[in-house]
Amino acid sequence: MISISRPPLSRFDKENPEEKKEISKILLPVIKRIPNKIVQSHWTQKLARELKVKTEDIEEELKKAKLETSFLDGFEPKSVSLPQKSRKQKIEERLLSLIFQKPELRQLITEDDLSLLSVQSSVLISKFKKFFQNEKDLENFQTRFSEFQRNLSKEELDFISPLILKAEIEEECLDVEPCQEVQICLKEVRRFRVKGELSEVSQQIKESEEAKDSQKTNILIKKFNELTKKLINK
């Protein structure tokens, strides 16, 4: 269990107003997703204690916070003023967050799955799996996880720190079991590969039709149909 009162929260200067603002920016949208108001109040008070501010101030900022949607909602804004994370990015970040919170789930991610992720996510998960190779490595996980973080680059720490901060709170918002959610994440990642292959074959069909190569077109259409079935069955 990763606690927000421990690293990576310690990487922030909680005496600095801008750092406090950054922490609240990361955590408040997640706290707002918690359906149970009592649990939500618990995290609001905990965050207030950590930031050494009044609970009322956190509650006020919580009202202003934008509700963070889960990738499971399948929602992606079509018109936004700021760059939005893609659905694939959200899934990869959630996958990382889940294995940091439930390290025993790391074994569900295969080498083939890693090849489908972004380089950054793939490298981090590979390092995590290598560092925690055996079940015995999970003993005193909090201490070992801090050691794992010390071996990461600043860029890697900057990437995972918000994910770790949100991990414990996100557990309160789970609609499915962590093991099942990891499997959903992996299923979605695999679907992205098939969609990419479909897009490529679709372009090839268009080119072969323009070239009036009926034999090649028929072969490609057959391949397209096979990929479509694969996508439906995934």
The predicted pLDDT at position 70 comes to 58
Sign (positive or negative) of CA dihedral 122, 125, 131, 135:
negative
Gap between the Cα atoms of 157 and 87, Å rounded: 22
DSSP, residue by residue, 13-49: -TTSHHHHHHHHHHHHHHHHH-S-HHHHHHHHHHHHH
Gap between the Cα atoms of 165 and 27, Å rounded: 7
112 and 154 together in one domain: yes
The predicted pLDDT at position 223 comes to 92
What's the rounded mean pLDDT across residues 101-105? 91
What's the rounded mean pLDDT across residues 215-219? 94
Name the maximum alpha-carbon separation found in the chain. 72
The answer as to whether 225 is a domain residue is yes
The predicted pLDDT at position 76 comes to 39
Taking the CA of residue 151 as centre, how many other CA atoms within 13 Å lie in the half-sphere pointing to its CB?
11
Choice between 170 and 145, residue whose per-residue pLDDT is larger: 145
The predicted pLDDT at position 81 comes to 38
Q: For the whole prediction, is pTM greater than 0.75?
A: no
In the chain, the percentage of residues whose pLDDT exceeds 70 is: 84
133 and 205 together in one domain: no
Residues in CB range of 93: below 8 A, 6 or more apart: 85, 121, 163
137 and 229 together in one domain: no
* Residue 202 belongs to domain spanning: 184-233
